[in-house]
Chain A
Amino acid sequence: MKYSHVCAIIGVILCAALIAGCITPTQPQGTPTPTVSPSGGDVIVTYTKGTGPMPTLLGTDQIDGYIAWQPFVEVPPMAGIGKILLYSGDLPPQGKWKDHPCCVFTANQKVIAQNPDLTNALTASMILATQYLEEHPEESAEIVADWLAGKGNFTYGEISVSSVDVLKRAFPTVKFVNDPTDKWMDSNIEFVHALRELEVLTGSLKASSDADSKTILFDTAPYNAAQSMIGAGKITTPTPVKGSVGIGYLMSDHHAALFVAIKKWEYFNDTYGIAIKPRDTAASRPDIADFIVNGEKVAEIKLISGDAGPQLMQLMATDNIQYALVGNPPAISAADKGTPVKIIMSINSEGSGVVVTEDSPANDWNSFVAWAKERSAAGKPLRIAAPGKGSIQDVMIRYSLETSGLSIKEG
């Protein structure tokens, strides 16, 4: 009996060692074209499926830093557990990530085809809200603070910070732009290349030419229609929809346009005759609204928040939602796998950032790289969290680390 137990335990340990050895991530061949040969050391990238666990992991010293979307970049400094290294537009190589694309407005191809006026009107709603929040950043930051945290306080030990202050700090680091310019499309296509190198793409975008990728990904007709309706000062009333229409979004100030469109519905109704009116006007975070165009209710809208983009794309694939505000990589991956999703326009650019622990010696990118090399040489490589494999944040941090002579390990 004793012998068999010992043998069993040894067997299990051997198996575990074998499996661990087998799944130790190896670099996929041809990972993002680094301009410097990666020999300066390793950095471990940990995926946390969204931003949820990041502050806790940083606060308990399980990671040395993270890259996330706003407002979660602002959390560590106010909690006294970390400092902001840099915002995503400033990631190296210099100028590479300036105005990098981020979130996009997407729609199910079927709904674009079946009810073009509805899609055009919703697109117009988002464009008008984006204009509003560019013109009224302070008020918009308050609206977002109400949506995300009921304008309440965040408490970290003895420190208590107003969510309004946090959002006012985060707001200037996000650029709210809609125009689907050629330059913007090209930089989206760069993400297609990056996702290919990460071996995330396996379907229609795996080997497509850039021109084909654009055809697969984009449908800017609703944007153009919306702009001309806004220009003409008259929104076409869509045919009323039976049942409801779902719009997915993330709990981030990147999606401020949606929150502003809903919270300022009276203004948009009076000024443009187009409004997403919440059923419960007192709720911080309404989940059901009526879409009203020229005084006529044309659709019931369900507002669905997700943890991260891939989940929202899954919901679109199962027809739970018809529209979504998501980062471009989830939309690209979903289109690649055959989800009938089309990118209509940009929602924002930039708006992410890198934070490191409070006691980190790094104060800028160069000292961060030096720290990473030192730790790697000491056999304790830095561990940086990113929201998910192939997310915007993941693609950017990988590229920046690799061009700085560091190689990536997942774990």
Chain B
Amino acid sequence: MRYLRFLLPILLVIGWEVASWVVNNPFIVPSLETVIPILLHPFSPEYTLGTGSMVENALISIQRVGLGFLVAAVVAIPIGILMGRSAFLNDFFDSTIELLRPIPPLAWVPLALAWFKIGLTSIVFIIFIGAFFPILLNTVDGVKSVKKTWLEVATTLGAKEQQIMTKVVLPGAAPTIWTGLRVGFGIAWMCVVAAEWLPGISQGLGYLILYAYNFGQTNLIIAGMVVIGVIGLLIDFVFKHVEKRWFSWRGLER
């Protein structure tokens, strides 16, 4: 049973190769023989149409997404805590947030360019938009769902607002905030292609995919997608691991 999780990916790879024989059109299903060499040479710049090696592209994307994600976390968590604690602030922000939340990051591209100009700020902004809302909403939810009894006990025992915040609210909300960060990072990572669609960029996994499209290099597109998927998986693994280790108490308390 332990190895069951590997079965479907293996079947998918086999199915892929069979499909590439049957379809026989590299634009629809490029064969694995054209994709694998790219993945086996992550340090070689030869396979990526002059954008540098796959590793260079991946690192630059991780940097951009990491930065956008950090900014989103730094902005969203404090606002979320305030909204969770104060009904007034919650009502004040709520409608605006619900209005902005459904707008896809890609729709912000023209404004990002006009406001922040070509460069890192625009990219970070697009990723920020992606990561901000899940972090914010989970933080609000986490703070609101801290048990009333805990808060009452702390108040009865004479805790000050600051103590309630650091000793009760934050630890109580931490698991949900962490879930928000995990979801937020996932979405931020998904935004990498949208963000690297901005002009003035010459490297990054998203850029690589869009650039390969110009020349009909479907094999390179798939290699880029695989790398995006694998990195997303690894980072999510880290988030999950931390969740298990630090926040497993949530499953135990009643």
Residues of A in contact with B (beta carbons under 8 Å apart):
50-53, 55-56, 59-60, 72, 75, 79, 81, 146-152, 154-157, 163, 246, 248, 251, 283-285, 287, 302, 304-307, 311-312, 314-315, 318, 320-321
Interface SS majority for chain B: loop
Contact (Cβ within 8 A) A157 B26: yes
A-B contact pairs, 8 of them (CB 8 A): A148-B49, A151-B50, A246-B200, A284-B45, A285-B51, A287-B200, A304-B118, A314-B110
Q: Which residues of A contact B90 (CB under 8 A)?
A: none
Q: Which residues of B contact A321 (CB under 8 A)?
A: 118
Contact (Cβ within 8 A) A56 B113: no
Docked Cα-Cα span, A258 to B25, in Å, equals 36
Docked Cα-Cα span, A314 to B118, in Å, equals 12
How near does chain B come to A9, taking the closest CB pair, in angstroms?
25
Which residue, A55, A148, A157, A302, has most C-beta atoms of chain B within 10 A? A157
Name which residue of chain B comes closest to A284, CB basis: B50
Q: Which residues of A contact B50 (CB under 8 A)?
A: 146-152, 284-285
Q: A-B contact count, CB below 8 Å?
A: 108
Q: Which residues of A contact B199 (CB under 8 A)?
A: 248, 304-307, 311-312, 315, 320
Which bracket fits the contact residues of B?
20 to 34
Which residue, B27, B30, B113, B218, has most C-beta atoms of chain A within 10 A? B27
Given the interface pairs A56-B218, A306-B199, A320-B117, the reply to whether A150 lies near B213 with Cβ below 8 Å is no
How near does chain A come to B243, taking the closest CB pair, in angstroms?
39
Q: Which residues of A contact B52 (CB under 8 A)?
A: 283-284
Partner of B26, one of A150, A156, A163: A156
Contact (Cβ within 8 A) B213 A305: no
Does B46 interact with chain A (Cβ within 8 Å)?
yes
Q: Which residues of A contact B179 (CB under 8 A)?
A: none
Docked Cα-Cα span, A307 to B207, in Å, equals 12
Given the interface pairs A75-B216, A306-B199, A311-B199, the reply to whether A52 lies near B210 with Cβ below 8 Å is yes
Q: Which residues of A contact B219 (CB under 8 A)?
A: 155
Q: Which residues of B contact A155 (CB under 8 A)?
A: 26, 30, 34, 217, 219-220
Contact (Cβ within 8 A) A81 B27: yes
Does B215 interact with chain A (Cβ within 8 Å)?
yes
Contact (Cβ within 8 A) B46 A152: yes
Partner of B215, one of A154, A304, A305: A154
How near does chain B come to A232, taking the closest CB pair, in angstroms?
36
Q: What 20 new A-B contacts, CB under 8 Å, besides A59-B27, A146-B50, A306-B199?
A: A55-B215, A59-B26, A75-B216, A149-B50, A150-B46, A150-B51, A151-B50, A154-B217, A155-B30, A155-B219, A156-B27, A157-B30, A157-B31, A284-B52, A302-B118, A305-B199, A307-B199, A314-B113, A318-B114, A318-B117
Docked Cα-Cα span, A248 to B220, in Å, equals 26
7 nearest A-B pairs in the assembled complex, by CB-CB distance: A150-B50, A55-B216, A284-B50, A59-B27, A157-B26, A304-B200, A149-B49
Docked Cα-Cα span, A311 to B113, in Å, equals 11
Docked Cα-Cα span, A79 to B27, in Å, equals 10
Docked Cα-Cα span, A302 to B199, in Å, equals 11
Name which residue of chain A comes closest to B207, CB basis: A305
Does B214 interact with chain A (Cβ within 8 Å)?
yes
Contact (Cβ within 8 A) A53 B213: yes
Q: Which residues of A contact B247 (CB under 8 A)?
A: none
Does B202 interact with chain A (Cβ within 8 Å)?
yes
Within 8 A of A (CB), among B42-56: 45-52
How near does chain A come to B165, taking the closest CB pair, in angstroms?
43
Given the interface pairs A56-B27, A157-B31, the reply to whether A152 lies near B213 with Cβ below 8 Å is no
Q: Which residues of A contact B216 (CB under 8 A)?
A: 55-56, 59, 75, 79, 154, 156
Docked Cα-Cα span, A307 to B216, in Å, equals 15
Contact (Cβ within 8 A) A285 B202: yes
Name which residue of chain A comes closest to B38, CB basis: A155
Q: Which residues of A contact B74 (CB under 8 A)?
A: none
Name which residue of chain A comes closest to B119, CB basis: A302
Name which residue of chain A comes closest to B219, CB basis: A155
How near does chain B come to A255, taking the closest CB pair, in angstroms?
14
Name which residue of chain A comes closest to B117, CB basis: A320
Within 8 A of A (CB), among B185-232: 199-200, 202, 210-211, 213-220
Q: Which residues of B contact A311 (CB under 8 A)?
A: 199
Partner of A287, one of B24, B45, B48, B202: B202
Does B238 interact with chain A (Cβ within 8 Å)?
no
Q: Which residues of A contact B31 (CB under 8 A)?
A: 157
